[in-house]
Amino acid sequence: MTLAFIFPGQGSQDIGMGKALAEAFPAARAVFEEVDAALGQNLSGLMWGGDLAELTLTSNAQPALMAHSVAAYRALEANFGVTVKDATFVAGHSLGEYSALAAAGSISLADTARLLRIRGNAMQSAVKPGEGAMAALLGAEVEQAEAACAAGRATGGACEIANDNAPGQLVISGTREAIDAAVAWSQANGVKKAMALNVSAPFHCSLMQPAADAMAGALATTDIKAPLVPLVANVSASAVTDPETIRQNLVRQVTGRVRWTESVQFMVREGVTMTGEVGNGKVLTVMQRRIEKSLNGFTLGAPEDLEAFAKALRGEA
């Protein structure tokens, strides 16, 4: 089987995430300790026994999800001998792209934690509370979502496709008035379900330009190496290894569409038959069933997951 490691994005967080890994594997525990030190915060304590509302704050959720993902990967590597070099590609959904780059040796763990803290704060502060919104369009084709966004922009506000997650699972983002107009258009024009999302900011649209500018500054001084295996980038849905291209893509990603459907389709065309979703939850594994049913997906968030995955790679029962 040809493997790709995929890394989840925001929304997968919950209290207790990563605790079992830290208790079972020293390599995982070391990741949480390094992230805590890099941020000057007991983030692991918040993850394992804190308040969910505080953990869900963008500035906390982003580095927390990355820490869990990298902890799972490091434990897989140290305890079961499975490394990123066993994969053909890595890919991550939105902030998960940073997790993928950390696992693939492109950005150091400490730098990744600091970048995600900057990214989370910048995305949260880019738009005043209440001015932006996002909505899910379920059962919609991309062309319908584009038409809904055009109806939204007729109000004079921003309205763009933020995430193409899977066939029939699209998310739009923009000003509240524009999103409301796009939802109304969708409901009147055959979209199965159009509903506002409970989010703190309008991510992945042009309103995030101040956050993109902040990330351009932060990334300009970050050491980025070529990843050990190619990264399938959100903004291009193609494989990249050049550090400068990665740097530019991470800036573009803040305002750009997460082209996840196309990213999975690209990996399948390149021969990928198995994915390991490294980190908390199973959102990407569920989405990929809608994209390509032939993919064999594993979730790698708990100690027992890692052992089962390693056995599957070795062809053991």
The residues assigned a catalytic role are 94, 204
Q: What are the backbone angles phi and psi of residue 311, rounded to the nearest 5°? A: -65, -40
What is the rounded CA–CA span in Å between residue 97 and residue 232?
Answer: 9
Inter-residue contact 98 to 111 (CB < 8 Å): no
**CA 301 centroid distance within chain:** 15
* CA 308 centroid distance within chain: 24
Sheet holding 239-240, edge to edge: 239-240, 231-232, 89-92, 3-7, 274-278, 296-300
Tokens read off for 192: 């199965």
Distances (CA, A) of 205 to 65, 85, 172, 256: 22, 34, 8, 6
The CA radius of gyration of the chain, in Å to the nearest whole number, is 19
Give the Cα separation of 137 and 142 in Å (integer): 10
